[in-house]
Amino acid sequence: MKRILIAAVAVAMFSGCASLNRLGIPFTADKAKVGIRLILDREGYGDSLTDAEVSQIVDWVDSDWTQDQERQAFLDVIAVREENEASILALAEKYYPGGEWNLPMKDVVAEEAEPHIVTKISEWYGGEDLSGAIVDSRFQLTVSDDGRIWSPAPSDWPLNGDLNVMVCAAYENAAGALVGGKYEWNRANPSPRSWSNIEEGYEGWIAPEVGTEMIVWAASVDGKRVSTEATATYK
């Protein structure tokens, strides 16, 4: 019974694609994975499933796994943890009452009410076009005014060696266009950054005037997630 309920909740979350599409947000399995993680964290079950397990559930839902014994056994393992039948039913009723998707979108995509800077950049510097990235609203970025000190990304952001963040910035050029992109890398335990790569023209960067306000954000190393925006002053 618990296995079926967990599966039903996973299917309910995944079926939210219709709601996302109505809001004009293209739905992908990656969005489902981020959404499920947000729900688990919000409801106090963040430690109950690993990111790999969330990813596996979404991938299986997407490929019709209902008759696979190995996959059912996987869900059995999850079911014996702290989640119980009542709490799963409560979540199903909260997010999928009567078979209708009811994900509180205002919480999940609040930062997208005003489009993120990555959707506004007309010319990308730094070799990365991040315009298709998803805003991870858990990462409420803070940056010191001089652009040196950056707050850390969520612990589940992917790693490339010891790197997990692309440090990004944008500004409005003389023609009134927003330009920018990646200019440095950072680690899970951030170390101070500098503007030196921009000054040196890193991967096509054209440096702004000293004193220019920069819109800054962090992107995951796979280019699929971005933080909320912050500001800092160039040099």
* 96-133 per-position pLDDT tens digit: 555 554 544 434 344 445 789 999 999 999 988 999 99
Tell me which of 38 and 142 has the higher pLDDT: 142
> Quick one: 63 and 135 in the same domain?
no
Q: For residue 210, give every residue at least 6 positions away whose Cβ sits within 8 Å of its Cβ, in sequence order, or none.
A: 234, 235
223 pLDDT more than 50: yes
Averaged over 164-180, what is the pLDDT? Answer: 96
Same domain, 100 and 138: no
Structural domain containing residue 220:
112-233
Residue ending a domain, choose from 59, 90, 108: 108
Q: Domain end: 87, 108, 129, which one?
A: 108
Spatial CA neighbour of 181 closest among 193, 200, 167, 161: 167
Q: Is 168 exposed, middle or buried (0-12, 13-18, 19+ CB in 10 A)?
A: buried
Model confidence over 54-90: pLDDT tens digits? 777 666 655 654 456 666 666 566 555 554 555 655 6
pLDDT over threshold 50, residue 231:
yes
Same domain, 146 and 177: yes
14 and 65 within one domain: yes
User: For the domain that residue 204 is a member of, what is the CATH number?
Assistant: 2.60.40
Calpha distance 82→175 (Å, rounded): 57
Of 50, 80, 108, the domain-final residue: 108
Do 101 and 118 sit in the same domain of this protein? no
Same domain, 121 and 214: yes
Quote the number of domains for the chain: 2
Give pLDDT tens digits for 208-218: 999 999 999 99
Q: Are residues 226 and 155 in the same domain?
A: yes
Written as one letter, the residue type at 67 is Q
119 and 152 both lie in a single domain: yes
Domain identity same for 85 and 160: no
- Whether residue 224 is found in the same domain as residue 138: yes
Two tokens, residue 215: 């819109």
pTM for the model stands at 0.55
Compute the distance between CA of residue 111 and CA of residue 175 in angstroms, rounded to an integer: 27
Whose CA is closest to 192, among 157, 139, 146?
A: 146
Mean pLDDT of all residues in 154-160: 91
